[in-house]
Amino acid sequence: MVHLWVRAEERPDEARVGLTPEGAAALIAKGFRVTIEDSPARALPLAPYLDAGCAAAPAGSWREAPAEVFVFGLKELREEPSPLIHRHIMFGHAYKGQPAGQRLLARLRAGGGVLYDLEALVDEAGRRVAAFGYWAGYVGAALALKAWAAQVKGTICGPVRAFPGREALLEALVEELGDVLRPDALIIGALGRTGQGASDLLAAMKVRAQAWDKAETAHGGPFSEVLGHEIFLNCILAAPGCPVFVPADAPETQRRLRVIGDIACDPGAEYSPIKVYGRPTNWDAPALRVHDAPPLDVVAIDNLPALLPVESSHDFAAQLLPHLAALDAIETGVWARARAEFERHAP
């Protein structure tokens, strides 16, 4: 019997979950066992999971769970020295040389555990089968506009917190922008799910956006056009060979560019296309000012969809559910490909 253990997220600002009560009921009907840890921070309440037939467990108790369970979460685990013995399903952020990711792989190697990275769940053509991309783009574009509005007022973007829903986000943004003239924007990666989310948010805010994708970036750069827009939104998934869109010397050059929304957010990767910053931003300080006059701010939050936890949880969980239902065939399909990717990075 497959036992899926849905852990409480250990990151303070994370309220998303990758399995809904309806999804849990479908897995249980198939014969799976589902345990869900209690979490007052989770956007979806515990009671419907229990009504669906899940067993409840205290937050963090996955550490004492039987070795055969699949421990399912979204964001990173709390960093500890202890070896990891379980099979973990999560976004590990461990395959691009990130220091924290390397420590995670070391813990898995030490304990004989396995990472089934959610980014590595791909179909036969290499396309991800489940992603938060749309809502990352939507929220990332919103925060880039928020950072731009703060600049207009002569300040820097202040703290943000999760919204109860999309309409609340839009209402807050309309109020913040007021009647000021809207900026112009460039989206690179506009044809993907992330780019579509960014495009939809900008359209809702009546912001004119130029949309680029592979055809416009195929020549490899340099891309001086990026500096000619007030807002640049990077929506591509960085990979080896990725061109540089914003070089390190961009802040000192003549430019209209005022805000970079690095929605893909890979500052720790050597092939990041944005070279003017080196660390993610966060909810308490969403914008990092990398140049003062004229100002240039970078918004690079690595859990953007968590600002709309209800919508993003339902969307992601619906994409992932058919594949969770295939955990009883772990040696095939998307799970076999994810295991092979883990073995390649953690031999």
Sequence letter at residue 315: D
Nearest to 256 by CA among 218, 230, 294: 230
In sequence order, what are the beta bridge partners of 293? none
**What is the rounded distance in angstroms from the CA atom of residue 116 to the CA atom of residue 341?**
8
Nearest to 231 by CA among 246, 219, 214: 246
Catalytic residue among 3, 75, 275, 345: 75
* C-beta atoms surrounding 24 within 10 Å: 26
* C-beta atoms surrounding 292 within 10 Å: 8
For the beta sheet containing 87-90, the strands, ordered from the edge strand earlier in sequence to the opposite edge, are 55-57, 33-37, 3-6, 70-72, 87-90, 114-117
C-alpha angle 238-240-245 in degrees, rounded to nearest 5 = 50
3-class secondary structure, 209: strand
- 82: tokens are 């202890």
Residue 3 known to be catalytic? no
Kindly give the interhelix angle for 133-152 and 193-204, rounded to the nearest 10 degrees. Answer: 40
Do 33 and 93 contact (CB within 8 A), yes or no?
no
Catalytic residue among 86, 93, 146, 229: 93
Do 185 and 148 contact (CB within 8 A), yes or no?
no
Residue 146 known to be catalytic? no
- 34: tokens are 């589902």
The torsion defined by the Cα of 5, 339, 329 and 22, in degrees rounded to 10, comes to 40
**What is the rounded distance in angstroms from the CA atom of residue 172 to the CA atom of residue 155?**
18
**What is the rounded distance in angstroms from the CA atom of residue 86 to the CA atom of residue 156?**
43
Catalytically active residues, by annotation: 75, 93
